[in-house]
């Protein structure tokens, strides 16, 4: 490749990456996908997300780790067998549409996630009256497989809206399993998009 073409190609690569990232941000249906709001809201609930728990709320915005921006969602275990908690984002959907749903995880370096804990993505498909039609679950990210060193993506791809569903709860769930969990995991850069 002539030197001039190589220089042009190198100059275009960053522009293409920025363009691709901007398009992804525009197509992302999740509001506050990086948990940046409330800004400086350390320990608070992230704006636009509904937190739920079986007993104790061990979640909130954190500035201890971030894949992008300066904050993420911190989820710490309750140290109880079969305990669960998570964060849901609600949106309207149309029958037959397909959705991609993903998020990035990393374990706390000092408080490594462990025990029988696991993280998964869940889409709860709902009727107009709020009752559940069905739900779609991702593969489980078991505690022992969640890295302390690098952010790793979990995802559901090309999931079709089932008949009768008009709303969806896109959820990130931390479940502690039969023996209970320990430690902390961080979640960042959620993507919810129509396929």
pLDDT in the model for residue 89: 98
Tell me the pTM. 0.86
pLDDT tens-digit readout, 121-168: 999 999 999 999 999 999 999 999 999 999 999 999 999 999 999 999
Sorted by sequence, the CB contacts under 8 Å of residue 13 that are 6+ apart come out as none
Q: Is the predicted pLDDT of residue 17 greater than 50, yes or no? A: no
Sorted by sequence, the CB contacts under 8 Å of residue 87 that are 6+ apart come out as 46, 49, 50, 51, 52, 59, 73, 75, 171, 172, 187
Q: Is the predicted pLDDT of residue 24 greater than 80, yes or no? A: no
Q: What mean pLDDT is predicted for residues 3-31? A: 58
Q: What mean pLDDT is predicted for residues 70-99? A: 97
10 Å CB burial of residue 121 (0-12, 13-18, 19+) is: buried
Q: How confident is the model at residue 88 (pLDDT cuts 50, 70, 90)?
A: very high
CB atoms within 10 A of CB 24: 12
pLDDT in the model for residue 56: 94
pLDDT tens-digit readout, 48-57: 999 999 999 9
Distance, in Å, from the CA atom of 97 to the CA atom of 101, rounded to the nearest integer, reads 13
Give me Rg for the CA atoms of the chain.
Answer: 18
Residue-averaged pLDDT of the chain? 91
Q: How confident is the model at residue 8 (pLDDT cuts 50, 70, 90)?
A: very low
Q: Is the predicted pLDDT of residue 15 greater than 60, yes or no? A: no
pLDDT in the model for residue 25: 65
Q: How far is CA 100 from CA 74, 163, 191, 193, in A?
A: 23, 18, 7, 5
């Amino acid at each position: 490749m002539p030197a001039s073409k190589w220089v042009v190609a190198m100059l275009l690569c960053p522009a293409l990456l920025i363009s691709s990232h901007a398009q992804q941000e525009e197509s992302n249906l999740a509001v506050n996908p990086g948990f940046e709001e409330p800004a400086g809201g350390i320990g608070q609930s992230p704006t636009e997300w509904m937190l739920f728990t079986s007993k104790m709320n061990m979640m909130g915005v954190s500035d201890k780790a971030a894949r992008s921006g300066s904050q993420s969602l911190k989820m710490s275990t309750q140290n109880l067998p079969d305990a669960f908690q998570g964060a849901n984002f609600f949106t309207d959907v149309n029958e037959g549409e397909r959705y991609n749903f993903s998020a990035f995880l990393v374990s706390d370096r000092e408080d490594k996630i462990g025990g029988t804990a696991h993280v998964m993505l869940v889409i709860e498909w709902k009727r107009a009256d709020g009752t559940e039609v069905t739900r779609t679950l991702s593969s489980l990210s078991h505690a022992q497989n969640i890295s302390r060193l690098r952010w790793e993506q979990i995802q559901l791809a090309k999931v079709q809206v089932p008949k009768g569903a008009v709303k969806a709860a896109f959820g990130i769930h931390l479940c502690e399993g039969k023996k209970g969990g320990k430690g902390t995991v961080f979640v960042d850069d959620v993507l919810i998009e129509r396929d």
